[in-house]
Amino acid sequence: MRIRTAVFALLASSALFFASEKPIRANAQYTLNFGTVAPEGTPWADQLRAIEKRLEKESQGRINVKIFLGGAMGSEIEMIQDVQRGQRLQGGGFSTGAVGEALGVPVLSMIELPFLFRNTKEADVILDEVLYEPTKKQLGKKNIAFYSWSENGWRSFATKGGPATSPEQLRQYKMRSQESPVHLDMYKALGVQAIAKPVSEVLPALNTGIVTGFDNTPLFSLAASWITPVTHYTLTKHIYQPAAVFYSKSFVDKLPPDLQRLLMSNHKEEAIKGRQGVRSQEASLLQIMKGMNKTIVELTPEQRKAFRKAVRRKTHAAFLSKNPKLQGTYRSVTQRLKQLRQK
């Protein structure tokens, strides 16, 4: 409990949070219920609180925002589908893979293909310059008004009892997988037993031995307390995982024009804030893991290459075979990446 408090104190100390008085809600004409699995005390939660304050203040209290953190309204899949219906929830922030799976928008799952990006600069360019508009268009067809990118970060393998410095070592563990075909295909390519589980079931599964490992980012691993039952965190950084912030399109369409503009404003600035809030914490979070007696394993270039060789071609090919209409989009992404790598 002391470690968890320290983690949240660290995160809150540098969170991007705008202090302003909360407007009186007596004049609220619209209620925006916003769901997420992001826990309290994280940069994600604090950024959402900042958006809440901005929307309520700049709408002069006409919009009343209620944020439900930590999966209080259900799993990611359930909440995403709720936002699509626009009844129980009217907005949310979720991992792109979960959104792609829940809504049948595979371009979002494509972003989480393992070893697609080499660094965050590549990811930022592709998301902002290549995929923002196609994503907005595809989500619009699903009654979703896409607002902004945010970030979970680089996923690595956490295991109980030893490290995972090679695909062979990883096969010793029963790994929790995110509920996404891309993630499950990755484990299949690695020859690893994987069990898909929603966020709410992961910690009990780790504690009881139903699973003996998982992959996620340092921030989420600590904030959700998943790191507590494991012993090793191996920095494979095999998947870059952004998040998507969006609203129910039917909800937005019912708003007067000035409130529609307010809801959709500052999307580029919010993407930058979300990324900075997560990236600024990574080194400190790894130090906290060490303070919890977790072994942080740095891979050699050769070890990371072995993981890349085992999964990249197979999982990318499997994805494209299931989603042939995305061949052109995938080609646009890889061509832009090639240009970036030549500079």
Two tokens, residue 58: 């700049």
* Cβ neighbourhood burial of 284 (10 Å; 0-12, 13-18, 19+): middle
Specify the CATH number for the domain of residue 256. 3.40.190.170
* pLDDT at site 7: 57
Q: What is the mean pLDDT of each run of 10 residues along the chain (343 residues)?
A: 49 39 64 93 89 95 95 93 96 93 94 97 98 96 97 96 98 96 97 95 97 96 96 98 96 97 95 93 96 98 98 97 96 98 89
* pLDDT at site 10: 53
For 46-66, letters b (16+ CB in 10 Å) and e give bbbbbbbbbbbebbebbbbbe
- Whole-structure pTM value: 0.89
Could you give the count of Cα atoms lying within 13 Å of 309 in the half-sphere of its Cβ? Answer: 9
* pLDDT at site 20: 36
Helix (H) / strand (E) containing 239: strand 232-248
Tally of structural domains, the chain: 1
CA distance 243 to 137: 17
* pLDDT at site 40: 87
* pLDDT at site 1: 43
Beta partners for 113? none
Q: Are 329 and 134 in contact (CB under 8 A)?
A: yes
- Give the other-Cβ count within 10 Å of 141's Cβ: 11
Domain that holds residue 126: 2-342
* pLDDT at site 341: 96
Number of residues that make up the chain: 343
